[in-house]
Amino acid sequence: MIKAVTGTKDILPEEIPNWKFLEKVVTSVFDNYNYKEIRTPIFEETKLFARGIGESTDIVSKEMYTFTDRSNTSLTLKPEMTASVVRALIEHALYKKQSLNKFYYISPMFRQERPQAGRLRQFHQFGAEAIGSNNPLLDAEIIIVAYTILKKLGLKNLTVKINSLGLPESRENYKKLLREYLIKHFDKLSNESKKRFQTNILRIFDSKDEQDIMIMQNAPLLLEYLDNESLEHFEKVKKALVNAGIPFEIEPKLVRGLDYYTNTTFEIISSSVGAQNALCGGGRYNGLVKELEGPDIPGVGFAAGMERILLACENEKILSLEEDKFDLYILAIDKDFVDIVFDLAIKLRNFDLKVELDYFNRSLKAQLREANKLKAKFALFVGGDEFKNGFYLLKKMSDGTQFNIPISDWNKLVSIIKES
């Protein structure tokens, strides 16, 4: 049997209402904040991600789905959206049309990670990018939008963690201090951290190795070495969050994986899911647009994992969606009427009713069972003496009330169903 590829998942019809509900909340909040939707291709030239995410990141160094097409171009399935959004902004010169562009997206992403609960190889993210302004209020806005969406879904056990990585110059100075500290403990570091020491030293803070964690507990913290400009920026972000009533914690060890962050970084974690507890993360990336050969303009954004959010909703039992409402099941009293039933269903669906019928020439009893199974509000019986006399019999399933509807009186039929 051919199965879905490891780390990918079918989203079956029964799960779709949850996804649609999530998408509805996401779009409505983004709409309130005037973020505009953008859709970019599923694949891009590999060099976009190599440059836009950073060669030393886990994503680029070991997780991308990269392939060569028939014209020998190296392509990659998108592992995240920021680089694609920035590419589109530059390619269409959107920054010339307005000085601040606020985008949002909902899209599948692809990363060859080790699959586990809350971690897939094809997963879905929604997210936002606000590109064109360095105003700390926008850093706060991005965090507020993410938090608002999660709260609007009804999620409770959330923690917002924020940090500042400062400007690249102050970060470089700090990295020297960190190197000096770590060189003393180098032999005790895990192999992964030894590698990171060379490639992406800040990421050693993300290590799950116990020995590494112990060592990092006494490491100097970037937050303590921030330049004044970054400190001031961070203060303004915090003030805006306090004013908006968003609870947050400062997490000086929050470095996040991507190379291009400057100043603010943040994550929202949930205690309702397992080890993979980050529902979303993001931050400011002032160097990225220029890095991708655009103008030197700043940006800030976030991405949220939809599978993880739905898992948190499920665990907090907050997706008590309304039952799918079903208007009408049409029954053929005998086989002679199946074509009439089929035509009738098409006509009634054009009146914006949700209608189903039997496709197996089943007995009347079996058709009624099906109508009950679908929780149809009404059943319409076609055939028998009523039909001979020019009527359909309409039955309200909840209380058994019956209506004789003249065959040509569409208005009556539709209005009874719609008004109940």
Q: Which of 27, 88, 113, 220 touches ligand AMP (CB under 6 A)?
A: 113
Task: Provide the total of helices (H) and of strands (E) in the chain, helices listed first.
Answer: 16, 16
Closest separation in Å from C-beta 151 to ligand AMP:
16
**Which range in 17-25, 33-41, 274-282, 337-345 contacts ligand AMP by CB under 6 A?**
274-282
CA 168 to chain centre: 30
Element (H, E) at 357: strand 355-357
Closest separation in Å from C-beta 89 to ligand AMP:
18
Rule CB under 6 A: say whether 125 interacts with ligand AMP.
yes
Rule CB under 6 A: say whether 278 interacts with ligand AMP.
yes
Rule CB under 6 A: say whether 80 interacts with ligand AMP.
yes
Q: How far apart are CA 143 and CA 272, in angstroms?
A: 20
Q: How far apart are CA 18 and CA 140, in angstroms?
A: 28
Rule CB under 6 A: say whether 414 interacts with ligand AMP.
no
**Which range in 19-27, 279-287, 341-349, 397-405 contacts ligand AMP by CB under 6 A?**
279-287
Closest separation in Å from C-beta 312 to ligand AMP:
10
Scan for tokens 């994550």, then name that residue: 267
Q: How far apart are CA 52 and CA 67, in angstroms?
A: 18
Q: Which of 64, 120, 182, 273 touches ligand AMP (CB under 6 A)?
A: 120
Closest separation in Å from C-beta 17 to ligand AMP:
21
**Which range in 178-186, 300-308, 333-341, 380-388 contacts ligand AMP by CB under 6 A?**
300-308
Walk across the sheet containing 66-68 and list its strands.
Answer: 43-45, 74-77, 66-68
Give every CB contact of residue 357 below 8 A, 6+ residues apart in sequence.
329, 330, 331, 332, 341, 342, 345
Pattern 239-268, ligand AMP, x by CB under 6 A: ------------------------------
**Which range in 23-31, 223-231, 277-285, 408-416 contacts ligand AMP by CB under 6 A?**
277-285
Decide if 4 contacts 10 (C-beta within 8 A): yes
| Distance set, CA 161 to CA 278, 315, 395 (Å) | 10, 22, 57
Q: How many residues bind ligand AMP (CB under 6 A)?
A: 17
Looking at residues 208 to 237 of the shown chain, list those that interact with ligand AMP (rule: CB under 6 A). Answer: none
Decide if 280 contacts 268 (C-beta within 8 A): yes
Q: Which of 132, 136, 166, 281 touches ligand AMP (CB under 6 A)?
A: 281
Q: Which of 182, 303, 345, 382 touches ligand AMP (CB under 6 A)?
A: 303
Rule CB under 6 A: say whether 370 interacts with ligand AMP.
no
Q: What is residue 321's DSSP assignment?
A: P
DSSP for 124-178, please give it.
EEEEEEEES---HHHHHHHHHHHHHHHHHHT--SEEEEEEE---HHHHHHHHHHH
Rule CB under 6 A: say whether 270 interacts with ligand AMP.
no
Closest separation in Å from C-beta 170 to ligand AMP:
23
Q: Which of 51, 78, 102, 111 touches ligand AMP (CB under 6 A)?
A: 111
Give strand pairing partners of 249: 161
Scan for tokens 């470095």, then name that residue: 255
Toward ligand AMP, which CB reaches closer, 166 or 281? 281
Contact residues for ligand AMP, defined by CB under 6 A? 80, 111, 113, 118-120, 123, 125, 278-281, 303-305, 307-308
